[in-house]
């Protein structure tokens, strides 16, 4: 059974991500953890020292959050009514990252599925602050769903890579799992900068080929393009249903998303984006 966290701030974007997750895993036995985290608007040191209960605020905020979560469960059950899916609601006085990390330890979570932006997200920003923090710090696959994206079955998955990761089975299992479920083709995209692949890169590429032997996959190589340009240009030729990357420290992923200001990289994501944390070291 899959265990999936669905963070929500009760925005339309977060509910859209919830709907996407229910449809993506419609044929899977799943427990979905609907999660809302909260802290009071006034967050003084005295508040922490005295505890929120003594102010009478925590219970009221928690009750409101639980009521909102209950309404979401009722709404999705009415809309999808899938006997394979069960739901748990969690309203937590905590930061989002801390609560997710605690839930991972307690429940061995498989995925986190969330919207790219929250209730106050500006259109010109690629990801909201919560999504960026989850992508950077949570050590589980995170699926970010763009605003207003309507679910579509996976037929073509795009997996850009620089082949600098010594891939392990646990890192590619989510890709194999999703590609097998629909089924879909995995397009492995490498951006060349005028150099042949090194011996290590060739070995890593061959490792991918071995891992993906039971699913349909193609290797692509392009040159004279940045990674965002290559992703965008590939989507102009192929109707891609999901973008997948492995987040390896010091890799092009890190450079692409976290060493630049998110809204200045000129990369407009309009499809669901699955980020898988790497357990490997570059070699």
H/E segment holding residue 114 = strand 111-115
With CA atoms as reference, report the closest residue to 262 among 113, 121, 101, 114.
Answer: 121
pLDDT of residue 261 exceeding 60: no
DSSP helix, strand, coil percent of the chain (3-state; round to 5): 40, 25, 35
- pLDDT-based confidence at 128, cuts 50/70/90? low
Name the nearest CA neighbour of 32 among 50, 47, 48, 14. 14
Model confidence pLDDT, tens digit, residues 74-88: 999 999 999 999 999
Domains and CATH numbers, the chain: 2-145 (3.40.50.620), 156-271 (3.40.50.620)
Residue 47 has pLDDT above 80, yes or no: no
The residue among 7, 13, 14 whose CA lies nearest residue 33 is 7
- Gap between the Cα atoms of 274 and 140, Å rounded: 10
Give residue-wise pLDDT tens across range 215-258: 999 999 999 888 888 998 999 999 999 999 988 765 555 555 55
Closest CA to 4 of 150, 105, 142: 142
Mean pLDDT, the chain, rounded, equals 84
pTM, 2 dp: 0.86
H/E segment holding residue 102? helix 96-107
- DSSP alpha helices (H): ranges in 96-251? 96-107, 129-137, 169-181, 199-211, 227-237
Higher pLDDT, 75 or 44: 75
**Nearest CA to 155 among 126, 192, 181, 174?**
181
Q: What is the pLDDT of residue 280?
A: 60
Total count of residues recorded for the chain: 283
Give me the pLDDT at residue 250, please: 53
Q: For 149-190, what is each residue's pLDDT tens digit?
A: 999 999 999 999 989 889 999 999 999 999 999 989 999 999
Nearest partner of 163 among 204, 199, 192, judged by Cα: 204
Strands in 64-110 per DSSP E: 85-93
How far is the C-alpha of 89 from the C-alpha of 279, rounded, in Å? 30
Q: Strand 273-277 relative to strand 142-145: parallel, antiparallel, unpaired?
A: antiparallel
Residue 133, number of CB atoms within 10 A of its CB:
15
53: confidence class by pLDDT, cuts 50, 70, 90: low
Nearest to 34 by CA among 126, 119, 99: 99
For the cut 60, the answer to whether the pLDDT of residue 265 exceeds it is no
Residue among 151, 152, 12 at smallest CA distance from 75: 12
pLDDT of 106 > 50? The answer is: yes
């Amino acid at each position: 059974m899959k265990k999936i966290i669905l963070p929500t701030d009760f925005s339309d974007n977060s509910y859209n991500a919830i709907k996407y997750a229910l449809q993506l895993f419609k044929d899977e036995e799943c427990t979905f953890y609907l999660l809302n985290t909260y802290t009071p608007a006034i967050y003084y040191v005295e508040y922490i020292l005295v505890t929120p209960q003594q102010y009478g605020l925590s219970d009221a905020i928690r009750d409101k959050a639980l009521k909102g979560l209950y309404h979401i469960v009722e709404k999705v059950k009415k809309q999808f009514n899938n006997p394979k899916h069960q739901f748990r609601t969690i309203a937590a006085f905590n930061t989002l990252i801390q609560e997710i990390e605690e839930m991972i330890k307690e429940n061995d979570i498989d995925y986190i599925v969330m919207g790219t932006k929250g209730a106050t997200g500006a259109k010109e920003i690629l990801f909201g602050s919560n999504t960026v923090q989850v992508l950077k710090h949570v050590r589980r696959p995170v699926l970010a769903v763009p605003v207003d994206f309507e679910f579509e079955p996976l037929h073509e998955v795009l997996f850009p890579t620089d082949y600098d990761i010594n891939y392990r089975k646990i890192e590619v299992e989510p890709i194999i799992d999703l590609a097998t479920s629909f089924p879909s083709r995995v397009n492995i995209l490498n951006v060349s900068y005028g150099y042949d692949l090194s011996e290590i890169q060739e070995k890593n590429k061959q490792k991918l080929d071995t891992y993906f032997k039971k699913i349909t996959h193609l290797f692509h190589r392009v040159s004279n393009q940045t990674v965002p340009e290559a992703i965008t240009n590939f989507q102009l030729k192929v109707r891609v249903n999901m973008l997948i990357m492995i987040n390896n420290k010091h890799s092009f992923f890190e450079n692409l998303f976290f060493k630049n200001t998110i809204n200045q990289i000129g990369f407009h994501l309009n499809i669901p984006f699955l980020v898988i944390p790497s357990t490997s070291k570059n070699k």
